[in-house]
Structure 1
């Protein structure tokens, strides 16, 4: 059966196309109750579904926002999305979710799809590879709020964890336990400001407590290939680390698997503190100490900022920093 169109509703209700359009957009000021009833009956009889994109080509709000994340299954990402969705529903907005699987091309297609859908704004955990496209949409009037990552500092509206302070406090916690050889395990951070902030916090803590910096204690992990240097090899070196400080949940879980496979005990052989909480860590033989972010709060604040921009596109740009906390468990010991 062919899908009913607006013109079919107008014909059955015996009104003009513009009157049906006004009804669909909630403009009843000059419309009689009888006319409203006829349109409503025609819509029901024809099972007509309005096309939100077509209705809003001239700038009418869709009451939809787009959310682009890197991995929709991520432990913190799920909570961020819930924060966004809860805030949006409370304010009569719907959230359209896209997951890029860390692929910049998929991210670009998601941006283009949301722009074509005429969403009222976009919340994005960007790859940093589509800055020109995002800037173009902003120039065309699309409100955009970044969260989770800051890349080159060009992002105008952001909601982020206070990464530098959190990394400082985590490193200082290990130093207070007596650790001087703390291995900082990270992804490359030269072009990612948020990751560099964590590194800066680590360096700040070492400097405050007069702990010598060693470049050999900066170790890199890659999503596709894993650790550049095997953690076991590091622990068998002449001057091994006494603690690992991992900067991402995926790094922490891979490190745990590696240490377990090699029979390396936490915290007896090496201490561990990770960035981001771990699902069901309390059921681990040795629950892991973590830097805990507030993903739900980040989601709510990102949605709040976006809706503010939608209502007032001339407002000043804003960068919100959300505090983290350390959840102390059994994976770190004094030496």
Structure 2
């Protein structure tokens, strides 16, 4: 079946191609109702669909943005995406989503693909491995907003949680319960500014209450290999922790599995506080105390900032911190 073109619509309606184009672009105030009806009937009869790429070449806008995430199934990520999509719908923008599965090469291909599709802008949870590519496209006029992770102090548009303050508040809550030996369970944070901000909040709370930092209480988890040390070794290493503060939902869920397998009870044997809320936590035998982020707000703010830069490319780059809250549940108890 031959592809229907704008000229076919114009010919069937008995109008010029220019008139048909102006009707499809909403510029028909001067047209008679009879002319508008003829064009509408022609569009319907031919089942004509405008070519968005061809239209963008003339208007320099596709009314489409790209979003790149690391794990589309993530609980917080899904809420971020909803915030982005809701805001974009109100602005009559379409959203194209790419999922990278934490693979920097897939991320690079996704960035290039969206650029080639002529999206008006990109929102990305960056791995930090393709900053040069993002910088090149940004300097070439493509608005870009990052979220979730901050990798350096470079000047860019970014929306993130206030990780440092959140970690400080969570640690201080544990200290107020009497915990002095708190295990900080994290991914490697040396080259990721956002993870390091959580660590800085943690040690700031310890310093405020004159609690020494014990290196044995800094423990690591890797997405591919799991915990660096076994759970039993973590709990036996001097000084033995009375509470664990996990820094990611995946770490918390993995830890809960390990504790259950080892027969270690929460909060009788160990108190637990996790970063990121857990889906349906209220149905757990022991609901987990968490640092709750605001992913929907992060998504809507990211979309708002991106669209602002799409409409005005002279705007200065902006960093927005979104506050978190500590949701207190039954997984933390007073320490003797």
TM over 0.5: yes
Q: Provide, for residues 198-247 of structure 1, a one-character-per-residue CA deviation record: whole Å limited to 9, x for no partner.
A: 01101111111111111111111111111111121111234311111100
Aligned in 2, Cα 1:275/1:155: closer, same or farther, shift over 3 Å?
farther
Q: Provide, for residues 27-78 of structure 1, a one-character-per-residue CA deviation record: whole Å limited to 9, x for no partner.
A: 3356554443333222212111112112102443222222211111111111
Measure the CA separation in 1 of the matches of 2:50 and 2:116.
16
Measure the CA separation in 2 of the matches of 1:109 and 1:47.
34
Residue 97 of structure 1 aligns to a residue in which SS? strand
Residue 28 of structure 2 aligns to a residue in which SS? coil
1:34-45 residue pairs with structure 2 within 5 A? 34-45=34-45
Measure the CA separation in 2 of the matches of 1:126 and 1:235.
34
Normalising by structure 1, what TM-score?
0.95
Measure the CA separation in 2 of the matches of 1:319 and 1:141.
19
Aligned in 2, Cα 1:116/1:39: closer, same or farther, shift over 3 Å?
farther
Q: What residue ranges of structure 1 are gaps of 5+ in the alignment?
A: none
Q: What residue ranges of structure 2 are gaps of 5+ in the alignment?
A: none
Structure 2 partner of 1:169? 169
1:117 Cα deviation after fit: 2.4
Aligned in 2, Cα 1:78/1:155: closer, same or farther, shift over 3 Å?
farther
Question: How many residues end up aligned between the 2 structures?
Answer: 335
Residue 220 of structure 2 aligns to a residue in which SS? strand
Aligned in 2, Cα 1:310/1:238: closer, same or farther, shift over 3 Å?
closer
Residue 57 of structure 2 aligns to a residue in which SS? coil
Residue 56 of structure 1 aligns to a residue in which SS? helix
Would you say the 8 A contact 2:216–2:238 is kept in 1?
no
Q: Provide, for residues 81-104 of structure 1, a one-character-per-residue CA deviation record: whole Å limited to 9, x for no partner.
A: 111111111222222222211112
Measure the CA separation in 2 of the matches of 1:212 and 1:182.
11
1:65-144 residue pairs with structure 2 within 5 A? 65-144=65-144
Structure 1 partner of 2:245? 245
Would you say the 8 A contact 2:216–2:239 is kept in 1?
no
Structure 1 partner of 2:315? 315
Aligned in 2, Cα 1:34/1:133: closer, same or farther, shift over 3 Å?
farther
Tell me if 1:220 matches 2:220. yes
Measure the CA separation in 2 of the matches of 1:112 and 1:11.
39
1:155 Cα deviation after fit: 5.1
Measure the CA separation in 1 of the matches of 2:242 and 2:288.
15
Normalising by structure 2, what TM-score?
0.94
Structure 1 partner of 2:153? 153
Structure 1 partner of 2:202? 202
Residue 96 of structure 2 aligns to a residue in which SS? strand
CA RMSD of aligned residues (A): 1.7
Q: Provide, for residues 89-127 of structure 1, a one-character-per-residue CA deviation record: whole Å limited to 9, x for no partner.
A: 122222222221111222222222222222222111111
Structure 2 partner of 1:255? 255
Measure the CA separation in 2 of the matches of 1:140 and 1:27.
31
Measure the CA separation in 2 of the matches of 1:20 and 1:115.
30
Residue 4 of structure 1 aligns to a residue in which SS? coil
